[in-house]
Amino acid sequence: MDRLDRAPGQFRNFQKDDFEADWIKVAKCKSGEVYQVKVKLWRENCALKTFDTTLKIIEEVSSIAKLKFKYIIPIYGMCSEVTALVMEYMSNGSLNNLLTSHSLMWPKKFQMIHETSLGMNFLHSMKPPLLHLNLKTSNILVDDHLHIKISDFGLIHWEEGMNKTLFMERLAARGNISYIPPETFTHSPDPPGTTFDVYSFGIVMWEILTQQKPYAGCSVTTVLLQVSQGKRPCVTMIPDQRPPECEQMISIMKQCWDDDHRKRSPFSDFVKQTEALSEVFKVPGPIHSGKNGDADQKANYPWLFSSVKKITNTEMSVCPSDGQYDKEAILSM
Ligand code: ATP
Ligand code: MG
């Protein structure tokens, strides 16, 4: 029997030789590298994410790999020869990149927010809830059809008796400071719970709605201090020309990043709302061509034709890049 020809659902340990020789490097990050690799037997591209530390990852991954849901990334197995995780390859990369390279139309923004809340709701519906603790736009991946899947869940843990400062530093070292709720900064924080992820989701919502980076240009210390004092990314950066339903999205977002973690609603409480909001833009009834055919459709329902538009260099120049923002403007509510 071939090594990959396993019983359904069985966790696989790939060998380097299971992949074609040409590995394409997709990204290099603090914790390792991501490659696009082709599995010889399956004739299909996969993503291979290496870890530079020998985490006690195998036992963890083998259990999270069993999770299957439309909005979470399928994990196919490990390649222990290179300490790597093998998962579905998402052709459109991360939402983080998409938000800077393309201008998203409101229906697509609402849909992505909703799909992320569905993925998170699924993880939190586990018993006990599976905490992500690393939810950010680079861990939301985008497929060929611009649907999202959440990745890198369940890899960060709060261990009993863990040094709390170390936990914080570990998160901050990943460049995650914007996504960490303020209660984590206190001297003796409680172990993180589901409300940690809800807070991170609030920041992700802001990024989707504004297509900007939170606290751009601010140092880690500034973010830490200001967020502890109740400041959050600036809501006025959400474009004025927005659908009226956006106000409800903003209110969910603010609730998600509330200072008081007990006031942050669980995903199960607001998935129905994000569902309703994402359905607002669905075309009512069957789609018929008007007498002008596609032209009519395009005028009435532009998102049917293009839900994302590549940002050109000229357009990019009007969006301030990292470091060019007025810090006060970013941090005031
Ligand atoms: P962290 O290690 O905290 O998750 P990160 O998400 O920034 O940090 P990686 O997980 O290594 O770093 O991912 C880096 C980039 O690699 C992502 O932003 C994305 O562009 C790309 N990437 C990761 N996984 C996949 C995948 N399954 N398919 C396609 N591209 C991927
Ligand atoms: Mg990641």
pTM, full prediction: 0.88
Which position has the higher pLDDT, 188 or 198? 198
Tens digit of pLDDT for each residue in 9-35?
567 889 999 999 999 999 987 778 999
Selection from 92, 121, 113 nearest residue 281 by Cα: 113
**Dist. CA 230–CA 254, nearest whole Å:** 11
Give the residue, by CA position, lying nearest to ligand 1 atom 3.
174
Residues with CB under 6 A from ligand 1: 26-27, 29, 31-32, 34, 47, 49, 73, 87-90, 93-94, 96-97, 134, 138-139, 141, 151-152, 174
Over the stretch 220-251, which tens digit does the pLDDT of each residue have? Answer: 899 999 999 999 999 999 999 999 999 999 99
Q: How many CA atoms lie within 13 A of 79 on its CB side?
A: 22
Say what the pLDDT of residue 301 is. Answer: 64
Q: Are 14 and 26 in contact (CB under 8 A)?
A: no
Residues 6 or more apart in contact with residue 244 via CB below 8 angstroms: none
39-93 pLDDT, tens per residue? 999 999 999 999 876 555 666 777 888 899 999 999 999 998 998 999 999 999 9
Question: Is the per-residue pLDDT at 96 higher than 50?
Answer: yes
The predicted model gives 122-141 an average pLDDT of: 95
Token pair recorded at residue 47: 């993503």
Residue 27 Cα, ligand 1 centroid: separation in angstroms? 7
Ligand 1, atom nearest to 155 Cα = 4
